[in-house]
Amino acid sequence: MASELTLYNSLTREKEVFKPLTEGRVGMYVCGPTVYSDVHLGNCRTFVSFDVIYRYLMHQGFQVRYVRNITDVGHLEGDSDDVDAEDKISKKARLEALEPMEIAQKYANGFHDMMRVFNTLRPSIEPRATGHIPEQIKMVQDIIDNGFAYEVNGSVYFDTLKFIEQKDAYGKLSGRKVDELMAESRDDLKNQSEKKHPADFAIWMKAAPSHLMRWSSPWSDGFPGWHLECSAMSTKYLGETFDIHGGGNDLKFPHHENEIAQNVGSCNHAGARYWLHTNMLLMNGRKMSKSDGNTITPTQLFTGDSPHVSKGYSPMVVKFFMLQSHYRSTLDLTNEALAAAEKGYRRLMEANQVLQEMRFTGNHQSGALDQDINGLLDRVTYEMNDDFNTPKALAVLFELVTKINSFKGGQLTMEGLTPSTFQRLQETFTVFIQDVFALENELVSAGGNDEFEVLDGVMKMVIELRAQARANKDWGTADKIRDTLNELKVVLKDGKEGTSWGVE
């Protein structure tokens, strides 16, 4: 069941065999967070999904350059490009009485912390929008030079109408009907009167006098439009044409559609060849929304401090829950589904522990069992090769979990299994759990007690058992306790307030 890696390309709306531009190498760009508030759970899902994709590509032998940006300028309230709209980061800086870059740093730190909690890898390059102003100014100039942008009062707008007329490249990704876009009239512009057409969008914005973040440019002291940074930074680090562009579904339009327009408008290349989009995270069947209370933060989910969950679910349980859905499906977060995910996560991790400690007890003959297990192991990769289908790959792993538990319980013997297949079984579990899905083992600390609390509680009991053994002149037990603790470098200290313990 050998298979090629195929992925669903949002651009063509088809599953395609993945052919990288350069054999053995992949360039992947993913739109990162706008760092003006704590990262949302929906964003976490997107970045966890692309982390698994990144890890799987590396597992498949690709050398991947994974670029994920930090948006720290240009993203205006309401995703607007009205020159009077406020920058999201500047606004937060005003509210928190901090410099915009302090805001960006604070929330970038928080984002990185959360990504670590979910055990994701850091990207190869994590460029910041403010760190690439010259590249963005150059791209604006190129687009102007190519006739696809115009300046009004120091701001520069992309001439979408002209672009549509001259290039067959607008609307493809998002499926927006170009006819409908063109039919919109200038009357729809309302106060955004600098634009020639409603479909036009800002690529450089003149800064109002009160605007904190500003750079000089040939057109004005201002700042780049939100869509521009991704075009400029993906081009800089991955080239004018590269392999994969990812992001959340909500970015398809206008962000990604406009990225393509900017790329074509500046250098006549469309950027990414494969576009991957993650779907939405729902809660209780509805879109998450602060205004109606149907929302939960990652931290609330971990601690259980929310009316929407009956208790806290650990980061790895939440991650497992995410991987149980395909990245292109909506994922509905409910307390019941999380509780089920917790059971599934534990079942998988326990079976893996059992498997890794298990010894081969088969008869070295290849029989039906060997074929069966090899077939399942092939299928794990087959499902992942099918557009990174994590739920199906997990389902196959669970078929193997049943076998592992049967080996352990004695309902199934290893007759007909070869040592090499058994070893492959062990390796596959290690690779997928640790390297691809990157699920950490939280079993020890899953009960709400942390390790130290458990250890402290057990040690207090051991101290009592030792005292009792001494009182009973049971020197065998007392010596056994002493020797074991010595070996573990645990020291007992007798003091005024009883015996305490510590580690040397």
Query: Which residues would be at the binding site for its own copies (CB under 8 A)?
Result: 65, 98-99, 101-102, 105-106, 109, 122-128, 130-134, 138, 215-216, 237, 350, 408-410, 443-449, 451-455, 457-459, 461-462, 464-465, 468, 477, 480-481, 484-485, 487-490, 495-497, 502-504
Q: What is the distance between the alpha carbons of residues 45 and 52, in angstroms, rounded to a whole number?
A: 11
Q: What is the distance between the alpha carbons of residues 346 and 359, in angstroms, rounded to a whole number?
A: 22
Do residues 35 and 103 make contact, with C-beta atoms less than 8 angstroms apart?
Answer: yes
- In the complex with its own copies, the residue whose CB is nearer, 260 or 485, is 485
Q: What percent of the chain is helix, strand and coil (3-state, nearest 5)?
A: 50, 15, 35
- In the complex with its own copies, the residue whose CB is nearer, 29 or 388, is 29
- In the complex with its own copies, the residue whose CB is nearer, 339 or 395, is 339
- In the complex with its own copies, the residue whose CB is nearer, 286 or 470, is 470
- The β-bridge partners of 156 are 151, 204
- In the complex with its own copies, the residue whose CB is nearer, 72 or 194, is 72
Q: State the minimum distance, in angstroms, from the CB of residue 105 to its own copies.
A: 5
- In the complex with its own copies, the residue whose CB is nearer, 189 or 462, is 462
Q: State the minimum distance, in angstroms, from the CB of residue 319 to its own copies.
A: 19
- In the complex with its own copies, the residue whose CB is nearer, 190 or 473, is 473
Assign 358 to helix, strand or coil: coil
Q: Kindly tell me the burial class for residue 399, based on how many C-beta atoms sit within 10 Å of its own C-beta (0-12, 13-18, 19 or more).
A: middle
Do residues 230 and 259 make contact, with C-beta atoms less than 8 angstroms apart?
Answer: yes
Q: Phi, psi at residue 82, to the nearest 5°?
A: -75, 130
Strands 498-503 and 6-9, bridge-based pairing: unpaired
Q: What is the distance between the alpha carbons of residues 272 and 277, in angstroms, rounded to a whole number?
A: 13
- In the complex with its own copies, the residue whose CB is nearer, 423 or 449, is 449
- In the complex with its own copies, the residue whose CB is nearer, 106 or 176, is 106
End-to-end CA distance of the chain: 54
Our CA angle for 460, 465, 471, nearest 5°, is 130
Q: State the minimum distance, in angstroms, from the CB of residue 464 to its own copies.
A: 8
Our CA angle for 269, 176, 387, nearest 5°, is 65
DSSP code of 312? -
Q: State the minimum distance, in angstroms, from the CB of residue 497 to its own copies.
A: 8
Q: State the minimum distance, in angstroms, from the CB of residue 71 to its own copies.
A: 13
- In the complex with its own copies, the residue whose CB is nearer, 452 or 473, is 452
Assign 504 to helix, strand or coil: coil
Q: State the minimum distance, in angstroms, from the CB of residue 102 to its own copies.
A: 5
Tokens describing residue 160: 């979408």
Our CA angle for 15, 21, 23, nearest 5°, is 100
Q: State the minimum distance, in angstroms, from the CB of residue 485 to its own copies.
A: 8
Q: Phi, psi at residue 402, to the nearest 5°?
A: -60, -45
Residue for token digits 């706008």? 34
Q: Is 352 left (phi over 0), alpha (psi -120 to 50) or beta?
A: alpha
**Residues 35-48: b if buried by 16+ CB within 10 A, e if exposed:** bbeebbbbbbbbbb
- In the complex with its own copies, the residue whose CB is nearer, 103 or 396, is 103
Q: State the minimum distance, in angstroms, from the CB of residue 358 to its own copies.
A: 9
Assign 82 to helix, strand or coil: coil
